[in-house]
Amino acid sequence: MLRGDKVGLRARYDEDIPILRAELYDDVVNSARSEGRPWRPIVPGSNDPRLVVDASDMKNVPFSVVELDGGALVGSANLWGIDTHHRSAHIGLGLLPSCRGKGYGADVVSVLCHYGFVVRGLNRLQVETLSDNIPMLRAAEQNGFVREGELRSSAWVMGGFMDQVLLGLLAEDWKPGTKA
């Protein structure tokens, strides 16, 4: 398990799947805001790639996020779109509604940075998030990510277009273990 100050990132366990499905993916608004495709229901027991890990997929590394105190599941995180030639990837996370606002987001981003830069040897990590997703923007910026641009009306969310913010962090600019 990869450890931060408050959370750990570990492999996805079978028992995590029903909780993540109910708390994150069955919530139509949350799912529509966090995915780049239209919401659709997930059939229980299906091998939907949003939940079930495909060990042969070398471009995506999904984690379950757990509290270090007690080991309770608090969400999902991933390093996705891994490009081994350009040594870059994207990060994403989703916290269960009851676990938001507790400082877990910045800690998850910190651990994902450690995994991407130290374990995987990547040079660049990137975040794309909706412009009104203040918690994600704050978590990324606390870990050194820099706003690189805004993609105007680039995301179709629940009947309307929204702007997305693009943030990036280079290995040379990353300061492990320090949050602003």
User: What's the total number of domains in the chain?
Assistant: 1
Report the alpha-carbon angle 128-132-133, nearest 5.
Answer: 55
Work out the pLDDT band at 180, boundaries 50, 70, 90: very low
Backbone φ and ψ of 9, nearest 5°:
-110, 125
Q: How confident is the model at residue 45 (pLDDT cuts 50, 70, 90)?
A: confident
Q: pTM of the predicted model, to two decimals? A: 0.94
In a domain, 178, yes or no: no
Query: Which of these, 133, 22, 8, lies nearest to 67 by C-alpha position?
Result: 8
The residue among 53 and 113 whose pLDDT is bigger is 113
Query: Each residue of 138-176: pLDDT tens digit?
Result: 999 999 999 999 999 999 999 999 999 999 999 999 998
Structure confidence by residue, pLDDT tens digits, 79-104: 999 999 999 999 999 999 999 999 99
Give CA–CA dist 37/86, Å, rounded.
25
| 180 in a structural domain | no
Question: For residue 25, what is the domain's CATH number?
Answer: 3.40.630.30
SS3 assignment, position 12: coil
Is the pLDDT score of 68 beyond 50? yes
In this prediction, residues 55-72 reach a mean pLDDT of 95
Indicate whether 27 belongs to any domain.
yes
Higher pLDDT, 40 or 46: 40
179 lies in some domain: no
For 37, the domain range is: 2-173
CA 56, CA 29: separation in Å to the nearest integer?
30
Angle at 135 between CA 130 and CA 139, to 5 degrees: 105
* Residue 43 DSSP one-character state: P
**Domain presence at residue 53:** yes
Element of type H or E holding 110 = helix 104-114
